Amino acid sequence: MSFEPLISDFYGYENALTDQEKDLIVKLRDYLEREIRPVANDLWTKAEFFDRKVVTDLAELGLFGQPWKETQQFENSAVFRGWVALELARVDASVATLVGMQNGLVMGSIAVAGSQEQREQWLPRFASGELLGAFGLTEPLSGSDTAQGLQTVARRDGDNWIINGAKRWIGNGSISDVTIVWARDADDNQVKGFIVPTSTPGYSAKRIENKQALRIVQNADITFTEMVVPEANRLQGSKSFRETAAVLRLTRAEVAWAAVGNSIGAYEAAVKYAGERIQFGKPIGHHQLIQELLAKSLGNITSSIGLVTRVSEMLDQGLQRDEHSALAKEFTTSRMRETVAWCRELLGGNGIVLDYGVMKHFADAEAIYSYEGTREMNTLIVGRAITGKAAFV
């Protein structure tokens, strides 16, 4: 199979990838069609996680660790990694979230805030899929305001830390081997990160039931009770929330790409349906108002691809700041919400049936819209950059 840009990549942006990057995209598309698309609706319905083999398959494809020199398989760009997120979410947003957590939030925390020794010790084990990770920041009483409101406490005790507190919404939290736990140092009141094997006594996780978006992702409520973590497992470069924010800045831009992929998944199903469904004696795609829904959707997708391409180029050029990735996430997730709704509308009643390919994208959009910074939080980050005034409180 050779590389072709997606038909929904109207201006052909993906053509700019290198040959090596395109080869990986071809392999990824083939894998997703064979192993993920056929099982995704069923797993989503049952709210079950993928077979663990999927984690090692994704590792073998080379999806974990491409940004970091310890685990990188070939030189690659942030734009390429964005396209990987898009291609994943185009088929299934849960698999995109899985890669985003392992590769971005978990490995990213260790790469950004770990010592060189910690990078060498841990990154290859996540890259190979031997370890499945989770990222524990959000708490029951602290979501958007984690920088100020984080209540999980880490108390230094000789060569150890004693951690007490609770986390909510943690993706993979009940099935991970290792969770990155963010806690407030009781001495200096600063937020610090810890690499916590989930077998540690005092770590207890319970799956959140009845979630109606990203149902394949297993989100958990976690509690830590007198959990002892060695100082060697504290991320050695993590001194304040500044390092946590640096991780989120990286991953936020990739969530912006995944939002475009989720829109494309719904759009492609809508184009197909428009060519097949006959009303008033002709396929509905011949009706002007249906064409308008498709043209508006393609406009959202195309403008979003342009924006995420530039924000990832800025990362490669060392120019990307918090407000840049915040604007990308705010913009593409808002456009995604419009697009999946238009595509759902286009299918009429069948729009709400999983089998027709839009409903999963429609429901999953709601989770992508809120995680890694809600629209309001990202708007306030951009507003602060515009005016110089923080309006969070």
Sign of the C-alpha dihedral, residues 25, 26, 27, 31?
positive
Cβ 235 vs Cβ 113: under 8 Å: yes
Q: How far is CA 353 from CA 41, 202, 359, in A?
A: 10, 42, 6
Phi-psi region of 264 (alpha: psi -120 to 50; beta: other; left: phi over 0): alpha
First to last CA, the chain: 53
Residues engaged in binding ligand FAD (CB under 6 A):
101, 135-138, 143-144, 169-171, 214, 219, 367, 370-372, 374, 376-377, 392
Residue 105 CB, nearest distance to ligand FAD (Å)? Answer: 7
Residue among 141 and 295 whose Cβ is closer to ligand FAD: 141
Minimum gap (Å) between residue 140 Cβ and ligand FAD: 8
Q: Closer to ligand FAD by CB, 229 or 290: give it.
A: 229
Nearer to ligand FAD, 121 or 370 (CB): 370
Q: Give how far Cα 105 sits from Cα of 19, 23, 101, 137, 286, Å.
A: 27, 25, 5, 10, 45
Identify the residue whose tokens are 């986390």: 167
Nearer to ligand FAD, 150 or 269 (CB): 150
**Nearer to ligand FAD (CB atom), residue 216 or residue 284:** 216
CA dist., res. 362 & res. 185, Å (int) = 40
CB of 39 to ligand FAD, least distance (A): 20
Is 143 or 202 the residue whose CB approaches ligand FAD more closely?
143
Could you tell me the smallest distance in angstroms from the CB atom of residue 163 to ligand FAD? 15
Strand partners, 300: none
- Least distance between ligand FAD and beta carbon 141 (Å): 8
CB of 145 to ligand FAD, least distance (A): 6
Of 122 and 135, CB closest to ligand FAD = 135
Q: Which residue is nearest to ligand FAD (CB)?
A: 143
Residues pairing with 184 in the sheet: 153, 191
Percentages (nearest 5) of helix, strand, coil residues in the chain? 55, 15, 30
Supply angle C-alpha 154, 156, 157, rounded to 5: 130
CB of 191: closest distance to ligand FAD in angstroms? 12
**Closer CB to ligand FAD, residue 351 or residue 373?**
373
In 306-373 the beta strands, taken as DSSP E runs, fall at none
- Interatomic CA distance for residues 209 and 178, integer angstroms: 22
CB of 182 to ligand FAD, least distance (A): 8
